[in-house]
Structure 1
């Protein structure tokens, strides 16, 4: 029965999604002249246009939703303490010697890895003169900022002296030794040189169990490490993405220390900050407080948004700035143009802010550049529509002036300013090479360094063809076909701790049908809002169709923005055409929130029974938790 239940849940969810959209299609079987005209007139790329304002009624949900979500997101984010004093092995051959209180068997050795990669040779001695090799303690790139356990050749072998020799420049944060009974040996009973003191000064942080709460996981081994290297003015390890995202991660480390909470803080904060902007965006689009609340809740408690913003990677910052750049572009194309003074102010400011956010996004991750293509298409379609209106009304000279001015503005806002932001974001690379001051930005070595990194990034991403058990392609993302598993740990008492990145299945499948509906609405109703959403979605998805490198479902994260906006567009059609719309819209939103609660253990790693975890694996063999 336990094997059948996931299939039943899957079938039920798919049935509900298709039933909801069958109700949506029925809305258009009967003529509704008022709704038809209303939808056309409020379309973003046709005239007249309306931008719905935020009112006092919106203030409460604008404040409450981020607060409630933030409380959920920050809970259990990670330990607020981790070893921060490191024993520095300056070169190959450097070692530390630890004298035990007496000769005793050693059953276990734990250690916390710092930056740099290499190996340590663990050696035992009875007299402090003659040593035998016991184990190699690895510090691979995948071990950075993690608690690791030495693989003992003969656990329980006796020693009076322990020597640890580094084969490279490395740093170790803490060392824990266990006697034959599995009891940690107190550092007060040990003797060691002053240089080894950092290995035993934070013993209260040695964990009972090594998990994501006290160690890095997935790409945190790259991004958290590089954020810390930027702080210490060390040449960064991770150079396959632009620097800004890692600089933002570093703000959390500066504020809260080099620990899981510190390096995950900024991503989670940005995940919270997305919500008020998205709320206002939805309200500007559809003018409904209820739909704005529902859409923001769908996005906030979507599985991908929740999981991906709680990991110290750079994807969150790209998505944050994509929301903003599209929001401000929408503000630009819907700006009132009747009053010349208001026209200039309300056109230039949002256009500038859209370009600014494009620059910040591109300097965080290249996926934001895909969004720039969508913005360019939207701007082009708007200029065509605007130009036709001016020419038709006999204002050809105004059209030429407006177009030429607007092109110059776009060159400044979307090319020059983003290029400057992108270029300046490399300053930690420069300072790590000994450059300093404002003048380094005009140094040809700095410019060459930036150019060389672009070539390296392009070659790297073109050549990433490694295999991964949880990799997936774009056609799997759109149906939640292969989540990426970030953490998995099974315990002896039949409990399982695991979490993965994937979309809420109702949002994923319902959003895909909503995107298809946007294409239909664009053709049938010339609906500019539907086209706006559709272009945003396609700009983020289509490039991945032509990319052969290894990919994962988290690359679909930016598309979530437009899936939610498309669902909100569908909700709005119910609002305009069905007087019982609230039952359907609130019911769909409630179901998504219920699924979030049900799937919470496989989004956070909270231990649950294997039976419960198996119930959540709706697609056997594909959902890996």
Structure 2
């Protein structure tokens, strides 16, 4: 018992410590604005000083990197993402100084680290196993995409954590909601549940996600629908006679009222600086601040749906599962024959195994009807499927950081499901010998899947170590870099 309790504390602590070291060590490297840091870091600093994003001259990067961080003007800049992620980046800059690259990335490194214990709690809740939870969180802790997106000041890692947090809150809600529905077994419609604080918390997290990037709306809509679906399933299992109309018509509006208004309030609160000042972009478009804000957002929407400009690292969503075109966010050449890269390549062994795990979970869900198996699939669906609707829009593979925790969760849960203790399948009136043979087969099958699980996790750990330079910008010989280029699109 003492050993088990120690392991329950040690496992999450160790995977979180690994995540922290991999994300914070050498965080100031490189001492230059990486990829879209050129927008978010400078916008964050002008936001901190003005309350809205100011305008920077076109050649501001070199001066900013050299420590001249006051080059912005008070003229409002047209920016296409809401402010919350930049406010968080600005907190790190205020703490360590705007001239320190570690300050630029402090918020994303902290949030990238927090994703690991958050995923641990979620996996522990589903699996009931410390080992499975540690496997899921450990895969995320050492994953190249997770590390890279924590070491650059981009918005997508922040969005990913808020979505993951919302899923955790909805899972915590379900236990109590299912008990209350089960207590109404056999009733006509069952209860309408208003006392659901975890749904409120999920709404706040999803509001924060939309306040980082507008794509958080996909998660809000998808998880809101899933909440109604789960309520319907629980009512059906409880024997509620009108389970589907009760879930949609009675509980549905209550769930909407718990989830959406608080999400809207959190989102609008992130715009406080824009509303409280007069210099933000389009702030004077109308005497009514809300009308001016709406006009601004209409322009942002038009920008996003029409974004089809060519980019050498553009990757439509259908290319994300096979990892056809990762993004090289920074490439440095320290000296002849050496190269340093920070890219958005996830651990290929874990990622491709995770894609197979999705199929295994779908099959397991169809066969066993275990709703726990559906949650990773829902997380992947709300963070990936909407992007398939925009095949011509310029998108990038690093958007999959929002998918990544659920891919790690899917792999860990699929391995647990495949290595589970199996029921004996016997003919009518089996002989003692047939029973013994069936038991031996079940034991061999379970051992085989356990061995395969250990092998997959060991291979993922080795791949994580091998690909670590590509997520941290560690210089390596050109020959070794080329050994990492497993697919043509990775170059």
What range describes the TM-score normalised by the shorter chain of this pair?
Answer: 0.7 to 0.9
Partner Cα distance (2:152, 2:141) in 1: 15
Confirm or deny that 1:567 pairs with 2:411.
yes
Residue of structure 2 equivalent to 1:535: 378
CA separation of 1:459 and 1:57: change in aligned 2, threshold 3 A: same
* Contact 1:356–1:413 under 8 Å retained in 2: no
Confirm or deny that 1:509 pairs with 2:339.
no
Alignment length, in residue pairs? 428
* Contact 2:93–2:103 under 8 Å retained in 1: yes
CA separation of 1:602 and 1:388: change in aligned 2, threshold 3 A: closer
Candidates 293, 301, 305, aligned match of 1:458: 301
Report deviation, 1:554.
0.8
CA separation of 1:55 and 1:448: change in aligned 2, threshold 3 A: farther
The 10-residue stretch of structure 1 (417-426 or 275-284) with the greater mean CA deviation from structure 2: 417-426
Name the SS of the counterpart of 2:394 in structure 1.
coil
Cα offsets for 1:522-549 (capped at 9, x unmatched): 2232232222322221222121112121
Partner Cα distance (1:273, 1:579) in 2: 34
Name the SS of the counterpart of 1:451 in structure 2.
helix
Confirm or deny that 1:427 pairs with 2:269.
no
Runs (5+) with no aligned partner, structure 2: 54-76, 184-190, 422-445
Report deviation, 1:256.
0.7
* Contact 1:267–1:311 under 8 Å retained in 2: yes
Residue of structure 1 equivalent to 2:453: 585
CA separation of 1:346 and 1:511: change in aligned 2, threshold 3 A: farther
CA separation of 1:474 and 1:485: change in aligned 2, threshold 3 A: same
Confirm or deny that 1:58 pairs with 2:8.
yes
Tell me the TM-score normalised to structure 2 length: 0.80
Partner Cα distance (1:238, 1:257) in 2: 25
CA separation of 1:574 and 1:431: change in aligned 2, threshold 3 A: same
Matches within 5 A, 1:240-255: 240-255=80-95
Partner Cα distance (1:55, 1:325) in 2: 28
Structure in which a larger fraction of residues adopt strand: 1
Confirm or deny that 1:594 pairs with 2:462.
yes
Residue of structure 2 equivalent to 1:350: 198
* Cα RMSD after superposing both structures: 2.8
Matches within 5 A, 1:16-165: 57-78=7-28
Structure in which a larger fraction of residues adopt helix: 2
Report deviation, 1:560.
1.4
Runs (5+) with no aligned partner, structure 1: 1-53, 79-211
Candidates 25, 39, 53, aligned match of 1:222: 39
Name the SS of the counterpart of 1:366 in structure 2.
coil
Residue of structure 2 equivalent to 1:554: 398
Partner Cα distance (1:374, 1:380) in 2: 10
Residue of structure 1 equivalent to 2:67: none
Partner Cα distance (1:471, 1:64) in 2: 36
Residue of structure 2 equivalent to 1:92: none
Name the SS of the counterpart of 1:487 in structure 2.
strand
Confirm or deny that 1:480 pairs with 2:323.
yes
Report deviation, 1:406.
3.8
Residue of structure 2 equivalent to 1:605: 473
Partner Cα distance (1:365, 1:409) in 2: 26
Report deviation, 1:562.
1.9
Partner Cα distance (1:334, 1:373) in 2: 22
Partner Cα distance (1:470, 1:393) in 2: 52
CA separation of 1:426 and 1:605: change in aligned 2, threshold 3 A: same
CA separation of 1:265 and 1:411: change in aligned 2, threshold 3 A: same
